[in-house]
Amino acid sequence: MSGYNTPFEALGEEGIRALTAAFYDYMDSAAQVADLRAMHGKDLEPMKERLAEYLISWMGGPQTYAEKYGSMCMTTPHKPYAIGSAERDQWLLCMDKALEQIGADDALKQMLKQPLFAVADMVRNRD
């Protein structure tokens, strides 16, 4: 996974879908992210698909998310949920574990570290 300019170049659509699956698999099984898991319905498949579509676009791939949903804005869909620093950090933990699970290299992890934090922090609506 070296010699790429965007995360999409590194992972491709299949890799991002694998990342999303690993993200939700971890969320569904790890006690330390139970608060985050509780914000989701029993069936995670619709969210897996939506997050995959978002990340494909956000990571430099085809912009199908905005075409399908009209916006890349993440604050509005998350407004109904009480999201503080703890929930943000749980989301980031799930993403870190997912990156490890798919074998992302250190360069990709570093490339994504700050942008993923910014996205996760942007939806925070309480302290």
The per-residue pLDDT string of the chain (127 residues; one tens digit each, 9 = 90 and over) reads: 468 999 999 999 999 999 999 999 999 999 999 999 999 999 999 999 999 999 999 999 999 999 998 888 888 888 999 999 999 999 999 999 999 999 999 999 999 999 999 999 999 999 8
In angstroms, the CA 127 to CA 55 distance is 26
What pLDDT does residue 23 have? 99
Q: Is residue 3 part of a domain?
A: no
Residue 88 falls inside a structural domain: yes
**Residue 41 belongs to some domain of the structure:** yes
Of 109, 117, 73, 112, residue with least CA distance to 91: 117
Domain that holds residue 88: 8-122
User: 51: domain CATH number?
Assistant: 1.10.490.10
| Phi, psi (deg, nearest 5) at residue 47 | -70, -35
Count the domains in the chain: 1
With respect to residue 127, please indicate whether it lies within any of the assigned structural domains.
no
pTM over 0.85: yes
- Would you state the pLDDT for residue 92? 98
